[in-house]
Amino acid sequence: MLHLKYLSYVILGTVTWGLSPIFYAMLSSVSSIEIVAHRSFWSAIFLLLYIYFFSGFGREMLRKGIRELWLLFLSGILIAVNWYGFIYAVNSGNALQASLGYYIFPLVAVFLGIVFNSEKFTYIQIFSISLVIISVILLVYMNGEVPSLALILAFSFGFYGLIKSNMKLDPISSVTYETILITPLAILMLFFLSEPIIKSDVLVSESTIILLVFSGLITAVPLVLFSTGTKVFSYATVGLIQYLNPTIQFLIAIFYFKEAFEVGHALAFSLIWVALFIYSFESIFKEFNKTGMSVSTLSKKLK
């Protein structure tokens, strides 16, 4: 029963992220950079309140060294770039690219780990990465466009994860530090770049302000749910559940936003799904070996 409770946290957090394009589409009248600034500011507020009541945030912050604070600031910039790319993709009719970016992110993370952390790779990982590269080439060749937004999302999140992999912080504390450190930039952007939200229709103005404040909750609540739930599950299990996010975004892009899904998209996504299936199968197999559970033992348990 306890596992079911935590599983519901993970799924609810992931589904909320997956449905977020619908939320940000309601803010299409506001520029993407302003939405990111508000999202950073309000996320910092809500996460700071959460951490203040549940951990010694102030004491931890004072103990951070200059190098660690710089890394947190850099990761904050990267996550802001990722947020901007995602929101811009949704509000410019490219939600399909956002889905693509989060689908290929796990394999981009493997690639960056090999290049920058000298991590050992397997032939299956290289094969999966090769399929992703072929899928991008197919999109360029058949649709005549580089999926730049998808690549920005995948690589900004990949480099973000690369920095985080060298830091010992739980996800909630980490994102709180990051949003606090980039909040001064967010305030400056709001001061210099934003246009008056209040227009002729006061009701629209009020609803827009409420939605902008809620952008912080849309960030904070799923993160808290997801981070709380993942404590009792293996990396492989969490990795599989996370694919719900781009899958929901994929379905929203096609059936809700009615974006074009051409032959090039079908071939590219098919290759990526094959790559992710192979990569995930290997990850699960490794997890079984790590925990000492063989495939035969698992099959006996299932009977």
Query: Angle at the Cα of 274 (from 90 to 124), degrees rounded to 5?
Result: 120
In this predicted structure, what is the pLDDT of residue 281?
86
In this predicted structure, what is the pLDDT of residue 172?
82
pLDDT in tens, 223-262: 888 887 777 776 667 778 889 999 999 999 999 999 999 9
In this predicted structure, what is the pLDDT of residue 57?
55
Residue 19, Cβ density class (10 Å: 0-12 exposed, 13-18 middle, ≥19 buried): middle
CA atoms of 101 and 155, how far apart (whole Å): 8
In this predicted structure, what is the pLDDT of residue 198?
41
Sign of CA dihedral 87, 237, 179, 107: negative
Q: Considering all CA atoms of the chain, what is the largest pairwise distance in Å, rounded to the nearest integer?
A: 68
The answer to whether residue 12 scores a pLDDT higher than 90 is: yes
DSSP H helix total and E strand total for the chain:
13, 0
Q: How many CB atoms lie within 10 A of CB 72?
A: 25
In this predicted structure, what is the pLDDT of residue 185?
92
The answer to whether residue 285 scores a pLDDT higher than 60 is: yes
The answer to whether residue 179 scores a pLDDT higher than 70 is: yes
* Entry pTM: 0.87
Residue in the structure block whose two tokens are 């925990």 = 291
CA atoms of 246 and 119, how far apart (whole Å): 26
In this predicted structure, what is the pLDDT of residue 234?
67
Residue 171, Cβ density class (10 Å: 0-12 exposed, 13-18 middle, ≥19 buried): middle
pLDDT in tens, 100-119: 999 999 999 999 999 998 88
Higher pLDDT, 62 or 98: 98
In this predicted structure, what is the pLDDT of residue 169?
77
pLDDT in tens, 53-83: 876 555 555 466 778 889 999 999 999 999 9
Residue 213, Cβ density class (10 Å: 0-12 exposed, 13-18 middle, ≥19 buried): middle
In this predicted structure, what is the pLDDT of residue 293?
46
In this predicted structure, what is the pLDDT of residue 192?
78
What average pLDDT does the structure give for the chain?
85
| Tokens encoding 179 | 């949003």
